[in-house]
């Protein structure tokens, strides 16, 4: 027997429609890219009602540009109101929003945009030079600069360069969001978090809406219409951890920080817009705390912040709580998980415990959000106990977890229906997960991936290098930084500085290792595989020259 409830597909357009009808006067405030470039600090403010009208104009403009359902539309943009309109205008009309990480090396960006077959690229004013460099390698039929006529460059090598505001002004606001299958793809985000080429996670309308329901729950991010939310986590990083959707869905005020993410800019925007909730990687909060500490400031409205993307150092959790009475929610997730998997909040049973005991729980990566299930397994795939001690490969499943990557048909990603995360973790009897290591071969610096394999391959292309291994070393600001360990070829010479100089121009600057050390041999397993764990042990506490 089937239920007798109405059939409404879960669609992204429903969130902006809801925000317009039920929280229409609530504001979206953006630090504009134009203002940051001109150093005026200009802000743009409007309401969900106005954003909805502009998202509909955008949908009509996209149709005018020849964008059809399922076409990919790329963005290279910071957190701002036009990017927000693209989130709804593109997905809402049935096309696929492809948010690209502008911090990648240009070759990686063009590879990703071509792999996704982006038809149109929308980009912020700060990326004009970058896009001019990329364009000869792309197949986009139009480039839309997310600004007004006054800020359009007088000259540009870009073919078919259009102005966002002009496009919108010419488009009608009359548009009815189409209703279609909720399993339709809505957006995509590439992750370079593993070896080889970047892989595209392809979200659906259904997965996105369910993820928002999960994210907003009290023991997850606990979002409400009383919040003013500032996602510092970029909108090109896995949907800004759901916030670009969740805020309209709960009617929260949205504060978008644009391109200035230093402690001072973030703090001033938080204070002036009375931000209650924020989100970002540990590196950002270090900068913020430094600014606040150094200037004897207080947070007058901020009461909680979600920190994830890398392990949050206990010292940050303690400083926020003890000095500023701000609760840190330590969260873990992945691009492949939309991205939220676990969030650290306490249960009633923790209330009576001494603070140190409570903190031990809060330092962990948290418990699963309803919608996500997780388990830890050993090398044979057998599930390990939840005793807080046994550690194994962390596997997850749920309706917002990927089942496979875009255009990689035939590749088996899941193991018995579970997604192997590449993280190694423990789970305690109360269900709190703690990451202890990573089995995937990558380094996370300031919340962004560095592929150790790419660096090793490049190092080994140098004629004096016999073997090279790149490992993460702990770093106080960036969490992790790459260290290159090199075995020279017999009779060959190369210095640390020559090795580092060799990387110049071949990879992004921030990918270049912080140090190079030379050894006679690298540790290998019986089968000849590099033993990175051993190497990480060996160089624990290494201080760069």
Binding site for ligand ADP (CB under 6 A): 191, 193, 237-238, 308-312, 330-335, 339, 365, 421-423, 435, 438, 444, 447, 449
Smaller CB separation from ligand ADP, 235 or 326: 235
Catalytic residue flag (residue 529): no
CA angle 199, 202, 205 (to 5 degrees): 165
Residue whose CB is less far from ligand ADP, 72 or 444: 444
Q: Residues 191, 276, 283, 361: which is the catalytic one?
A: 191
Identify the DSSP state of 302.
Answer: -
Between 106 and 422, CB nearer to ligand ADP: 422
DSSP string for 163-219: EHHHHHHHS-S--------TTSEEEEEEE--SSSS-EEEEEEHHHHHHHHHHHHSTT
Closest by Cα among 283, 235, 285 to 259: 235
Q: With respect to ligand ADP, which residue has the nearer C-beta, 60 or 365?
A: 365
Closest to ligand ADP by CB, 340 or 494: 340
- Smallest separation, CB 213 to ligand ADP (Å): 19
Rounded to the nearest whole angstrom, what is the least distance from the CB of residue 99 to ligand ADP in the complex?
Answer: 11
Q: Indicate which residue of 449, 478, 511, 532 is catalytic.
A: 449
Q: Which is nearer to ligand ADP, 114 or 194 (CB)?
A: 194
Q: How far is the CB of 82 from ligand ADP (least distance, A)?
A: 21
Is 191 considered catalytic here?
yes
Residue 205 CB, nearest approach to ligand ADP (Å): 20
Distance CA 255, CA 479 (A): 26
Provide, rounded to whole angstroms, the least separation between the CB of residue 316 and ligand ADP.
11
Quickly list H helices, 103-163: 106-116, 128-134
Compare residues 238 and 284 and give the one whose CB is closer to ligand ADP: 238
336 assigned to active site: yes
Q: Please pick, among 119, 199, 253, 444, the residue that the annotation labels catalytic.
A: 444
Query: How many whole angstroms separate alpha carbon 192 and alpha carbon 126?
Result: 23
| Distance of closest approach, residue 539 Cβ to ligand ADP, in angstroms | 20
Six-digit token string for 84: 């927000």
Catalytic residue (one of 336, 448, 456, 480): 336
Quick one: tokens of 109? 């960006």
Instruction: Quote the DSSP letter at residue 141.
Output: S
Answer for the pair 239, 339: CB distance below 8 angstroms, yes or no.
yes
Least distance in angstroms from the C-beta of 159 to ligand ADP: 32
Cβ–Cβ < 8 Å for 182, 11: yes
> What residues contact 528, with CB distance under 8 A and at least 6 apart?
none
Measure CA of the first residue to CA of the last residue in the chain; give whole Å. 71
Rg for the chain, CA atoms, rounded: 24
In 3-state terms, what secondary structure has residue 462? coil
462 close to 499: Cβ distance less than 8 angstroms: yes
Q: What is the set of active-site residues?
A: 191, 336, 444, 449
């Amino acid at each position: 027997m089937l239920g007798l409830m109405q059939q409404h597909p879960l669609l992204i357009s429903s969130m902006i429609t809801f925000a317009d009808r039920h929280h229409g006067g609530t504001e979206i405030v953006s630090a504009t890219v134009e203002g940051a470039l001109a150093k005026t600090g200009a802000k743009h403010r409007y309401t969900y009602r106005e954003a909805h009208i502009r998202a509909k104009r955008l949908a009509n403009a996209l149709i005018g540009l020849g964008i059809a359902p399922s076409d990919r539309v790329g963005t290279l943009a910071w957190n701002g109101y036009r990017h927000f309109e693209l989130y709804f205008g593109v997905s809402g009309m049935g096309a696929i929003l492809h948010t690209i990480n502008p911090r990648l090396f240009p070759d990686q960006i063009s590879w990703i945009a071509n792999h996704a077959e982006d038809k149109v690229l929308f980009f912020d004013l700060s990326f004009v030079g970058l896009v001019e460099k990329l364009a000869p390698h792309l197949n986009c039929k139009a480039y839309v600069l997310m600004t007004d006529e006054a800020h359009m460059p007088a000259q540009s090598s870009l073919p078919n360069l259009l102005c966002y505001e002009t496009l919108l002004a010419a488009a009608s606001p009359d548009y009815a969001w189409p209703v279609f299958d909720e399993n339709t793809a809505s957006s995509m985000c590439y992750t370079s978090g593993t070896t080889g080429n970047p892989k595209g996670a392809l979200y659906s309308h259904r997965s996105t809406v369910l993820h928002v329901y999960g994210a907003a729950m009290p023991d997850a991010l606990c979002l409400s219409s009383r919040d003013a939310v500032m996602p510092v986590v970029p909108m090109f990083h896995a949907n800004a951890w759901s916030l670009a959707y969740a805020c309209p869905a709960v009617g929260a005020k949205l504060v978008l920080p644009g391109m200035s993410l230093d402690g001072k800019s973030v703090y001033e925007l938080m204070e002036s817009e009375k931000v209650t909730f924020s989100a970002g990687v540990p590196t950002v909060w270090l900068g913020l705390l430094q600014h606040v500490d150094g200037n004897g400031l207080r947070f007058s409205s901020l009461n909680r912040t979600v920190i994830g993307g890398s392990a949050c150092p206990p010292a940050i959790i303690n400083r926020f709580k003890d000095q500023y009475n701000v609760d840190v929610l330590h969260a873990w997730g992945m691009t492949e998980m939309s991205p939220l998997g676990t969030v650290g909040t306490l249960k009633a049973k923790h209330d009576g415990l001494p603070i140190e005991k409570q903190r031990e729980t809060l330092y962990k990566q948290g418990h699963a959000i309803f919608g996500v299930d997780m388990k830890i397994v050993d090398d044979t795939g057998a599930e390990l106990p939840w005793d807080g001690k046994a550690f194994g490969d962390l596997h997850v499943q749920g309706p917002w977890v990927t089942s496979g990557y875009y255009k990689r048909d035939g590749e088996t990603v899941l193991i018995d229906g579970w997604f192997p995360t590449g993280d190694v973790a423990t789970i305690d009897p109360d269900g709190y997960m703690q990451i202890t290591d990573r089995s995937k071969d990558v380094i996370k610096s300031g919340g962004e991936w560095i592929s150790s394999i790419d660096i090793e391959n490049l190092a080994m292309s140098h004629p004096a290098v016999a073997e090279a291994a790149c490992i993460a070393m702990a770093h106080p600001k960036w969490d992790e930084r790459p260290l290159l360990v090199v075995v020279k070829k017999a009779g060959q010479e190369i210095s640390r500085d020559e090795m580092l100089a060799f990387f110049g121009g071949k990879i992004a600057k921030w990918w270049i290792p912080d140090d190079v050390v030379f050894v006679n041999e690298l540790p290998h397993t019986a089968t000849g595989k590099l033993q990175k764990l051993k190497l990480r042990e060996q160089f624990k506490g290494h201080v760069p020259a």
